[in-house]
Amino acid sequence: MTKIIAEYLLETPFPIEEVAAMMAGEQSSGTFVRVAGETDELRARSAADVLEVSLVGETGAPTLHSAFAERKAISGPYRQARVRIAFPPGNVGVNLPTLAATVSGNLYDIGEITGLKLVSLDIPAEYRTHYPLPQVGIQGTRNIVGVSDRPIFGTIIKPNVGMRADDIAALVDRLCAAGVDFIKDDEVCANPDCAPISERVPHVMAVLRKWRDKTGKNVMMAFNITDETDAMKRHADLVASEGGTCVMASLNWCGLSGMETLRRHTPLAIHAHRNGFGAMSRHPLLGMAFPAYHTLFRLAGIDHMHVHGIGGKFVDTADEVTEAARACLKPLSSNGPDDRVLPAFSSGQWAGTLPSTLEAAKSADLMFMCGGGILAHPNGPAAGIVSLHDAYEVLVAGQSISDGARTRPELAAAIDFFGTR
């Protein structure tokens, strides 16, 4: 079995090759000095290897404070480099939290380091087979909602939280009438007093079954079951017993173990919400970039992954959203299993942001979620859904959105209303 390769962006005022070697030792068989029992045979079997150190720049001031560097009276320059380290999979075993601890862990606290970001992880194909795969994935999601050759158009329950279960069910009824493919709870609405999941799921599923029986269309609802692990399992069982097809969880607050436990417990699609990821990603020299982050959580067996949206209300650049979407649509390992997941675009999306979204994904295998883009359409939610279909159809026909809007009133109304915001 080949090794797990982690790539970092490192900043340090100390000799950079020595710090890279220290990182490899600290996260494998060594520490800052050689200890008793650290034999040559043990090191050959368990030591991590520095594969590459490539300088990318330097600065006169540290990105992050280090009391250790101050005590050593080190004042720079602070060199920055790409560092690649190979870790033996045998050090980790089949243990997702320990994999995360190995490739990150105490590295962020090493005194010689004034900036560190885990950029990406390369997982060997054989090692990938030890972890759960998506149970539903891209094609399974398409099969459930009956959409074969276009993006899946979805929306979010709004207001985010505060409605009672019967109010949410009434909104779902209107959304089903409008023709939506997918609906999700907001991340802040999991088990509130006003709409506990024990009430919300039966109310909403009664509506979804009504529309399924009436039209044959199976709208997928991602119920937010974020909770402690045993409660999530009970919530997932309730969704399944009512005929539901999808649950949602907040990755960062449920954790790797929670997500892996949920995956092994339920065959339902897991809609993975990454809220809080910005705390890890926004600083260029601290935390974790999306390619590394999504690798860890995809090893837990999720089916859909949020990637934010282009031109939306969040901080992501178009390049960052593009990188995230394309990463979701690739297997984690070369020559490994098909573990692709459906990228879910959201945040400030409407018909006018669909062209850049399709260009980013280079595929129609995506979930395009519009809250206000559907619910706030000036002619109502049904017109909001029509505007999305119109936008996709004119793009496939080789037209621009503005040209297509000349003969499509719902699309024209969307442009007039959302285009100036």
User: Considering the domain boundaries, does residue 62 fall inside one?
Assistant: yes
The whole-number pLDDT of residue 75 equals 85
User: Considering the domain boundaries, does residue 23 fall inside one?
Assistant: yes
User: Considering the domain boundaries, does residue 130 fall inside one?
Assistant: no
Residue 98 has pLDDT above 90, yes or no: yes
Q: Is the peptide bond before 159 cis (omega within 30 degrees of 0)?
A: yes
Residue 191 has pLDDT above 60, yes or no: yes
Same domain, 118 and 244: no
Residue 32 has pLDDT above 60, yes or no: no
Same domain, 117 and 175: no
As a whole number, mean pLDDT of residues 179-203 equals 97
As a whole number, mean pLDDT of residues 164-168 equals 97
Same domain, 86 and 177: no
The whole-number pLDDT of residue 42 equals 87
User: Considering the domain boundaries, does residue 361 fall inside one?
Assistant: yes
Same domain, 62 and 143: no
The number of domains in the chain is 2
Residue 376 has pLDDT above 80, yes or no: yes
Q: What is the DSSP string of 159-173?
A: SSS---HHHHHHHHH
Number of neighbours of residue 45 by Cβ within 10 angstroms = 12
As a whole number, mean pLDDT of residues 209-235 equals 97
Number of neighbours of residue 119 by Cβ within 10 angstroms = 16
Q: Residues 289-323: pLDDT tens digits?
A: 999 999 999 999 999 999 999 988 899 999 999 99
Q: Hey, what are 268's tokens?
A: 């339902």
Among 5-19, 136-150, 407-421, whose mean pLDDT is lowest? 407-421
Q: Hey, what are 317's tokens?
A: 């650049």
User: Do residues 334 and 118 make contact, with C-beta atoms less than 8 angstroms apart?
Assistant: no
Same domain, 248 and 307: yes
User: Considering the domain boundaries, does residue 127 fall inside one?
Assistant: no
User: Do residues 413 and 383 make contact, with C-beta atoms less than 8 angstroms apart?
Assistant: yes
User: Do residues 325 and 310 make contact, with C-beta atoms less than 8 angstroms apart?
Assistant: no
User: Considering the domain boundaries, does residue 187 fall inside one?
Assistant: yes
State which H helix or E strand residue 207 sits in: helix 197-215
Q: Distance between CA 339 and CA 319 in Å, rounded?
A: 23
Q: What share of the chain is helix, strand, coil (3-state, %, to 5)?
A: 45, 20, 40
Same domain, 111 and 158: no
Cα dihedral across residues 73, 118, 86, 256: positive or negative:
positive
Residues paired with residue 152 on neighbouring β-strands, in sequence order: 367
31 falls in which pLDDT band (50, 70, 90)?
low
122, 147, 165: which is the final residue of a domain? 122
Number of neighbours of residue 145 by Cβ within 10 angstroms = 21
Tell me which residue range forms the domain holding 57. Answer: 4-122
The whole-number pLDDT of residue 30 equals 72
Same domain, 279 and 239: yes
DSSP-assigned letter for residue 154:
E
Same domain, 71 and 192: no
- Whole-structure pTM value: 0.95
User: Do residues 371 and 156 make contact, with C-beta atoms less than 8 angstroms apart?
Assistant: yes
CA distance between the termini of the chain? 52
User: Considering the domain boundaries, does residue 129 fall inside one?
Assistant: no
Q: Distance between CA 389 and CA 150 in Å, rounded?
A: 9
User: Considering the domain boundaries, does residue 128 fall inside one?
Assistant: no
Question: Of the candidates 224, 156, 229, which has an alpha carbon nearest to the alpha carbon of residue 195?
Answer: 224
Q: For residue 329, give the 3-state DSSP assignment.
A: coil
**CATH (domain of 155):** 3.20.20.110
**CATH (domain of 66):** 3.30.70.150
Same domain, 209 and 116: no
Same domain, 97 and 222: no
Same domain, 111 and 142: no
Same domain, 261 and 201: yes
DSSP-assigned letter for residue 151:
P
122, 149, 170: which is the final residue of a domain? 122
122, 156, 185: which is the final residue of a domain? 122
User: Do residues 119 and 148 make contact, with C-beta atoms less than 8 angstroms apart?
Assistant: no
Runs of H (alpha helix) within 282-405? 290-298, 318-328, 354-361, 372-375, 381-396, 401-404
Indicate the average pLDDT of the chain: 95
